[in-house]
Amino acid sequence: MLDEVEDTTKYASVGIVERQYAHFDETLYLRGGGVLEGFTLAYETYGRLNANRSNAILICHALSGDAHVAGYHTDDPEEKPGWWDDAVGPGKMFDTNQFFVICSNVIGGCQGSTGPSSRAKDGKPYGLRFPFVTVADMVLAQRHLMDRLGIQKLFSVAGGSMGGMQALQWAVDYPERVGSVLFLAATARSSTQNIAFNEIGRQAIYADPNWKNGDYYDGNAPANGLAVARMVGHITYMSESSLEDKFGRRTQNGNRLAYHFNTDFAVESYLKHQGEKFVERFDANSYLYITKALDYYDVADGYESMEAALKQVQCAFLVVSISSDWLYTAAQARELVDGLQAVGQDVEYRHIEATFGHDSFLVEVETMTEIVGGYLGRQLKGESESTEY
C-alpha cells in the first residue's frame, strides 16, 4: 500500500529522465580573457517542444545544483528526485503539459559539463588550469545549447539564487532570445557580505592540505575543507528563525550537555551531515570557480551603470524576494526592480513572507506555484501585471 502511494507520487512527476550531453567544437571566449577550445554541456529536458519551438523554458541552477531538476534517473525506489522536482511536472509551476523545460549544468561545474575536473587536451584534469568563468560565460554556453536544440527564442528563463543571475544575464546579453525572466531569491550584484562568505568557504578549501593547489585528482579530495565551505554556505541558506524552529538548543544526548567536542547540539550534527553529504557529490575546484563567478557577478559589468545594462532588456520580468532571505535580501531584489523600472521595463515584483530563509524559494511550493505558475499562465495568454510599489 505504501509502495503504491510512493509510486503514485513518483509517476505523477516527470518520471525517469536521462541526462544528455551536447559537445561543442566551438571555442568559448570567456569574459576573464581565457578560452575553452571546445566544451560539453550536460542537460536534461522535460515535456515536449512544440512544433514552432516557442514553449521552451530554461531553468538555471544555483551554486550546488546541476542539470537534474526533476524526476529520477533510475527506478530505484530509494532514489531521491531532482533538486526542484516540486516545480517541474504535469500541472506544477513549470507545467510540462504546456512547456518544454531544459536545464543544463553550468560550465565550470562538476556534473557532466566541462569544468576544472574535466580532462584538458593533455589528458589530465584541468585543476587550476581551468579558465575563470563568469555568469555571462555560463549563459554563453547555454546559448550554444539553445542553438543546437533549434530554439531561437526561449519562452522564459528562470532561476533561483545563482540561477536568477543567469536568467537576468540572458535578458541583457541576448535580449531578442528571451520571452520573460523569472528572477527568484537572487541579486543583480553580489554584496560585500556575499563575497565575504564565499571567500571564507574558499579559504577553508585552500587550507585543506589535500587541496594541493587544485591538483588533487589522483589522490584524496580536499573533503574536510569543502565540507566546512558547505557548512558556511548552508547557514546562509537558512534563516535564524528556521534554525531555531528546527533545532533550537536540542542536544543529541537527551537534554544533557555532553561536555565533549563531538556534536553536542542537534544543529551541529545537521551541519556536519550537510558537509559530509556534499563532498560525495561536489568537486572542490568547481566550488572555487563557481563562487568566484558569484562574487564577480554584477549586471553592470561592462556597462556604465546597472541602468545602462538593463536598457538592453526586451522582455518582462518577474522578481521574487523572500522576507527571511538574508543571503540575497529583499533590498537586493528591489535594487533590480528599481533599476528595471527606471529604464521603463515591464516588471512584476512579489515579496513573499516566508520563514525558511533563502531556501524558501524551494520550500514554499504552494506560494511559488501560484506566483510562478500564475505568471507563466498570464504570459501564455499575453497578459502581464507590472508592479508599482
Residues in contact with a second copy by CB under 8 A are 32-34, 128, 132, 189-193, 195-197, 199-200, 202-204, 206-209, 224-225, 227-228, 231-232, 235, 240, 243-244, 246-249, 257, 259-261, 263-265, 267-268, 271-272, 275, 288, 292, 295-296, 298, 326, 329
- Rounded Cα distance, 43 and 101, in Å: 10
- The nearest distance, CB 209 to a second copy, in angstroms, is 6
Beta carbon nearer to a second copy, 114 or 156: 114
- The nearest distance, CB 138 to a second copy, in angstroms, is 15
- The nearest distance, CB 65 to a second copy, in angstroms, is 22
- The nearest distance, CB 342 to a second copy, in angstroms, is 20
Beta carbon nearer to a second copy, 101 or 267: 267
Burial of 144 (0-12, 13-18, 19+ CB in 10 A): middle
Beta carbon nearer to a second copy, 59 or 232: 232
161 included as an active-site residue: yes
- The nearest distance, CB 234 to a second copy, in angstroms, is 9
Of the residues 161, 190, 324, 360, only one is catalytic, namely: 161
Give the position of cell 536545464: 103
- The nearest distance, CB 276 to a second copy, in angstroms, is 11
- The nearest distance, CB 163 to a second copy, in angstroms, is 21
Say if residues 125 and 156 touch (Cβ distance below 8 Å).
no
Beta carbon nearer to a second copy, 19 or 270: 270
End-to-end CA distance of the chain: 51
Of the residues 64, 358, 359, 360, only one is catalytic, namely: 358
Angle at which helices 192-206 and 223-237 cross, to 10°: 160
Give the position of cell 581551468: 130
Say if residues 20 and 43 touch (Cβ distance below 8 Å).
yes
Of the residues 85, 295, 325, 359, only one is catalytic, namely: 325
Say if residues 265 and 250 touch (Cβ distance below 8 Å).
yes
Beta carbon nearer to a second copy, 84 or 287: 287
325 included as an active-site residue: yes
With a CB cutoff of 8 Å and minimum separation 6, the contacts of 155 are 54, 55, 56, 57, 99, 179, 180, 376, 379
- Residue 358 C-alpha cell reads as 533563502
Say if residues 104 and 145 touch (Cβ distance below 8 Å).
yes
Beta carbon nearer to a second copy, 264 or 385: 264
Tell me if residue 202 falls in helix, strand or coil: helix
Length of the chain counted residue by residue = 389
Q: Which pairing describes strands 347-352 and 94-95: parallel, antiparallel, or unpaired? A: unpaired
Beta carbon nearer to a second copy, 91 or 248: 248
Instruction: Report the candidate in 147, 143, 153 with the shortest Cα–Cα distance to residue 52.
Output: 153
- Rounded Cα distance, 215 and 213, in Å: 6
- The nearest distance, CB 117 to a second copy, in angstroms, is 16
Give buried/exposed letters for 301-324 (b at 16+ CB in 10 A, else e).
beeeebeebbbebebbbbbbbbeb
Say if residues 59 and 161 touch (Cβ distance below 8 Å).
no
13 included as an active-site residue: no
Beta carbon nearer to a second copy, 75 or 244: 244
Residue 47 — left, alpha, or beta (φ > 0 → left; ψ -120 to 50 → alpha)?
Answer: left
Residues with catalytic roles: 161, 325, 358
